[in-house]
Every structure is written in structure tokens, then in C-alpha cells.
Amino acid sequence: MMMIRIRNAITRVRRNESGLAATEFALLLPVLVFLFFGLVETATAMTVNRKVAIAANTLADLAAQSEFVLESEMDDLFEGVTGIVEPNDPSGMSLRLVSVINDADGDPIVHWSRDSDGNTPYTAGADYTKLEDDTILTDIGSLIVVEMTYTYVPSITNHVMSSPIVFHRKTLRWPRVSPRVQLCVAVDDCTT
């Protein structure tokens, strides 16, 4: 008799499914939450990457559309490009605008350069070794190069991810109006 009661109790426990859905939900909830926030962060990071590419292309395009760029206009160029990355935090952005020319031996050198902090990242006349193909330069022309770095700190998962995501972008443009884009202090005081 006791064995029959034990067997009936085990059968009832096996057939009882009243808490099964709650148990399955409790097991799956952390996985679903992780997937949801992972997808949100991935989509946001992809959007930031796209904005970085657009910002670098815009800066290179704006600089390549002129015969000369005034030093007083540099801050406006950099500020306008910074607006593309917003509403993300633009403090993690570093921009460099470089004009590259060939020297007498046909090697790429820096014609002029400026960065978003108002500094000269590369000295005029210094070798420029960051071109993947040196043959894209002509003897009389220049090449506008934008080097952009953006450090993105995820807003939701920054506690899980210990390091930020760093996006690097390099964009090249040939000048459109003249063979070389000059950097000028004033209209009559330009680089050679």
C-alpha cells in the first residue's frame, strides 16, 4: 500500500505543469535581456561608425573644394564636422587634416597639416608614410587626407564592456579646383 501511494505521488508530480512556464521564463529571461541590450548596443555602435565615416568624408570633401583654406576657417571646419557625430559625445574625437605632396624624389611629404586642437600634427616637409599607394600623387598635385579617431563608450553596457570602442577612419580626396589646396594665414600669405 505504501508503495502504491509513493508511485501515485511521483506520477502526480510528473504530470503537474503549473509552475513549468514560470521556471522556463526565469531561465530564459537573462538570455533574452542580454540579447536585447546586445542588439541595441550593436546597432548604436554601427550608427556611430557610420557617422564617423560621414564626418571624415565631409571634412575631406570641404577642404578639397577650395583653392585655399584660411587658418581662421579651420575651427569652423572642425566644429561643423563635430556636429555630425552629435548627439554622441564629441569629446572622444580627434581630427587631422593633412595636405600631402610629392618631394623632388617623388616621395610623399607633408605640405601642411592641422588638427582639431589647433596644433600642427605633422611638420611641413616631413615624410608622410601613411599612404597605402604612393603612386596616387602627381608631381604638381596634392592629396587631402583626413585622419579621424573616435572613442565610443557604450551607454548601456559600459559596465559590462571594460574598454571603449575606438573607430579609426582615413579619407583621401584630390583637390577639385586647383592642383594643390593651400593653407593661408591671409589670402595673400599661403603655403608654397
pLDDT tens digits, 112-159: 999 988 888 899 889 998 888 878 888 888 899 999 999 888 877 666
> Mean pLDDT, to the nearest integer, of 4-10?
78
Give tens-digit pLDDT for 151-178. 888 877 666 666 788 999 999 999 998 8
51 within some domain: yes
Structural domains counted in the chain: 1
Q: Is residue 10 a part of any domain in this protein?
A: no
Q: What are the backbone angles phi and psi of residue 178, rounded to the nearest 5°?
A: -140, 165
Q: Is residue 14 included in any domain, yes or no?
A: no
Any domain includes 11: no
User: In a 3-state reduction of DSSP, which class is residue 151?
Assistant: strand
What are the strands of the beta sheet with 189-190, ordered from one edge? 68-70, 182-186, 189-190
Task: Give domain status of residue 120, yes or no.
Answer: yes
H helix intervals, 65-185: 71-85
Contact between 142 and 181 (Cβ < 8 Å): yes
User: Whole-model pTM?
Assistant: 0.78
Question: Any residues with CB less than 8 A from the CB of 90 and at least 6 apart, and which?
Answer: 82
What is the residue range of 137's domain?
A: 19-190
